[in-house]
């Protein structure tokens, strides 16, 4: 099912569920989706690793775009390089979405750009230009560490980007995991009354086609799990914690949009007794690593990893025996915990059980457990029951985007004057709105619902406007029928007035 069909079905489902006294099971069988981020800092290794296994994925995400202080885009790895061009071509040939990620983690700069209407508009224009000029299937927004005060402006940014992207591109959103408050605090009484979040889940649900939850880097944030698991316990992503995170998100986000972010890396810590004499253990973070690093360490020390209570692999030994030149803390124990193919399989199984859209792998960089490929292959082509139970669907005022095939044939006269300026793909001005109104009332609808639909015309000349204009040109024997609005098309409209 393509993006347009999915959005039409989603809207019809919402309308049906809104009827009084209707009891309906909100489930449907959909393909299980697998996406993977390829980081710019290991682009060559990542692409080399994913290409032989590309058919396993439904989407690939080059992790390449960063943001300048001003809000302009920066390519940390040029997507014009042969390796990226080859990946994009092979993905297209296999019907796999090619959707780069825009990553931003400067909270002050994010707030400055998104709260300013002109800066926000320029930022959106830069993103949209990249998507259409380079023929991406969409864009993945990963804006992290935002201030709570930025929340309404981030939601407005997503709304405006969603509209500007028109009807045939995907807007993916990658967000931080949110741990339930009763697991973050020792008691209900200790939960602060003034907690604010930087992400508005309900708004994100309206405008994002997929919501990828970064369900990793758990550490010691879940006090309940910390207390119920034997030490050492400092996981990357305990399946029990991931389930808590996902179910909390599903209270406001449709399950058929939720994707579990799954790690392929690990962390190394020093563990030592707390100085307060409590007998509790403290952990000092050292660094992250790929599985190959721990394999080498285990071999040299003559140790075997064990599977811990979080479902991950773990290696524990006296820090004094460390092969790394870093001086260990006195009496410390070295703890290495990482996500291997089995841990990834458990997350995929959880996504399937909860009726979620799928999983997103962070990261594919050549250093992941090679067993991951067999794990993912088991989910290739699998259909799962997508459930929306307990989630809040998008508002009717901002319905899913879709394009209705315009009616060709007889042109209908309308009382709309032909725009006087030449118009073409990428133009943003009020003459575009006039052109859309003409097309909508002449039997060549720009869109059936949402932005561009009758009564909701926009000032953006995107793919849907271009396609509708081409159909008008073909129906009226205008050559060449390229979707360019110029003197010939303008003359035909005037003739029909």
Token reading at 216: 């990793």
249 and 220, same structural domain? yes
**Cα(350)–Cα(83) distance, rounded to whole angstroms?**
34
Total tally of structural domains belonging to the chain? 3
The verdict on 56 and 204 lying in the same domain is: yes
Q: Are residue 358 and residue 451 in the same domain, yes or no?
A: no
Domain of 191, in residue numbers: 3-263+339-387
Residue 66 lies in a domain: yes
Q: 255 and 290 share a domain?
A: no
126 falls within a domain: yes
Regarding whether 187 and 281 lie in a shared domain, the answer is no
- 408 in a structural domain: no
For residues 213 and 324, membership in a common domain is answered with no
Residues 67 and 109 occupy one common structural domain: yes
Q: How far is CA 480 from CA 432, 473, 485, in A?
A: 20, 8, 11
Residue at which a domain ends, from 387, 419, 451: 387
- Residue 40 belongs to a domain: yes
Per-residue pLDDT 10s for the chain (497 aa) are 545 445 444 444 444 334 343 333 344 578 899 999 999 999 999 999 999 999 999 999 999 999 988 889 999 999 999 999 999 999 999 999 999 999 999 999 999 999 999 999 999 999 999 999 999 999 999 999 999 999 999 999 999 999 898 778 999 999 999 999 999 999 989 999 889 999 999 999 999 999 999 999 999 999 999 999 999 999 999 999 999 999 999 999 999 999 999 999 999 999 998 888 787 899 999 999 999 999 889 999 999 999 999 999 999 999 888 887 666 677 899 999 999 999 999 999 999 999 999 999 999 999 999 999 999 999 988 887 765 544 333 332 333 343 323 333 333 334 567 888 888 888 888 888 899 999 988 889 898 877 888 888 888 888 889 999 999 999 888 988 888 998 889 888 887 76
In a domain, 227, yes or no: yes
Q: State whether 239 and 156 are in the same domain.
A: yes
Inside any domain, residue 486: yes
Q: Are residues 256 and 373 in the same domain?
A: yes
Question: Domain check: are 334 and 351 in the same one?
Answer: no
Do 459 and 323 sit in the same domain of this protein?
A: no
Is position 471 within any domain? yes
- Count other Cβ atoms within 10 Å, centred on residue 5: 10
How far apart are alpha carbons 257 and 375 in whole angstroms?
A: 22
Same domain, 194 and 319: no
């Amino acid at each position: 099912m393509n993006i347009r069909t999915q959005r039409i079905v989603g809207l019809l489902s919402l309308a049906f569920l809104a009827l009084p006294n209707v009891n309906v099971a909100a489930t449907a069988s959909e393909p299980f989706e697998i996406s993977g981020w390829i980081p710019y800092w290991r682009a060559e290794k990542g692409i080399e690793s994913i290409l032989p296994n590309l058919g396993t994925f439904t989407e690939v995400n080059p992790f390449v775009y960063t943001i300048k202080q001003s809000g302009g885009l920066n390519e940390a790895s040029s997507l014009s390089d042969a390796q990226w061009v080859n990946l994009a071509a092979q993905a297209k040939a296999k019907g796999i979405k090619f959707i780069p990620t825009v990553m931003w983690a400067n909270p002050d700069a994010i707030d400055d750009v998104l709260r300013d209407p002109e800066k926000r508009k320029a930022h959106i224009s830069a993103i949209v230009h990249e998507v259409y000029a380079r023929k991406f299937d969409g864009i993945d927004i990963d804006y992290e560490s935002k201030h709570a005060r930025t929340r309404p402006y981030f939601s407005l940014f997503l709304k405006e980007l969603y509209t500007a992207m028109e009807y045939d591109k995907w807007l993916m959103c990658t967000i931080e995991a949110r741990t339930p408050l009763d697991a973050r605090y020792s008691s209900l009484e200790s939960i602060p009354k003034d907690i604010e979040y930087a992400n508005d889940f309900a708004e994100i649900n309206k405008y994002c086609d997929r919501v990828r939850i970064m369900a990793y880097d758990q550490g010691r944030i879940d006090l309940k799990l910390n207390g119920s698991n034997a030490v050492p316990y400092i996981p990357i992503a305990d399946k029990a914690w991931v389930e808590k995170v996902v179910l909390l998100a599903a209270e406001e986000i449709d399950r058929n949009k939720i994707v579990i972010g799954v790690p392929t890396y690990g962390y190394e810590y020093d563990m030592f007794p707390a100085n307060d004499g409590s007998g509790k253990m403290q952990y000092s973070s050292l660094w992250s690593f790929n599985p190959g690093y721990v394999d080498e360490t285990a071999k040299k020390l003559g140790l075997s990893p064990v599977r811990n209570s979080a479902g991950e692999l773990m290696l524990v030994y006296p820090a004094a025996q460390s092969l790394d030149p870093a001086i260990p803390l006195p009496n410390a124990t070295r703890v290495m915990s990482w996500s291997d193919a089995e841990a990834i399989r458990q997350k995929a199984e959880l996504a399937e059980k909860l009726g979620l859209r799928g999983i997103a792998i962070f990261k594919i960089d050549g250093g992941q457990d090679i067993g991951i490929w067999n794990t993912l292959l088991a989910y290739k082509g699998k259909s799962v029951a997508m459930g929306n139970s307990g989630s809040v669907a998008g508002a009717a005022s901002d319905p899913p985007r879709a394009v209705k095939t315009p009616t060709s044939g007889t042109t209908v006269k309308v009382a709309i004057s032909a725009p006087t300026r030449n118009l073409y793909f990428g133009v943003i001005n009020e003459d575009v709105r006039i052109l859309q109104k003409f097309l909508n009332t002449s039997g060549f609808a720009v869109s059936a619902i949402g932005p561009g639909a009758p009564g909701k015309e926009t000032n953006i000349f995107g793919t849907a406007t271009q396609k509708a204009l081409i159909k008008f040109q073909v129906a009226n024997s205008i050559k060449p029928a390229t979707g360019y609005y110029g003197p010939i098309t303008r003359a035909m409209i005037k003739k029909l007035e």
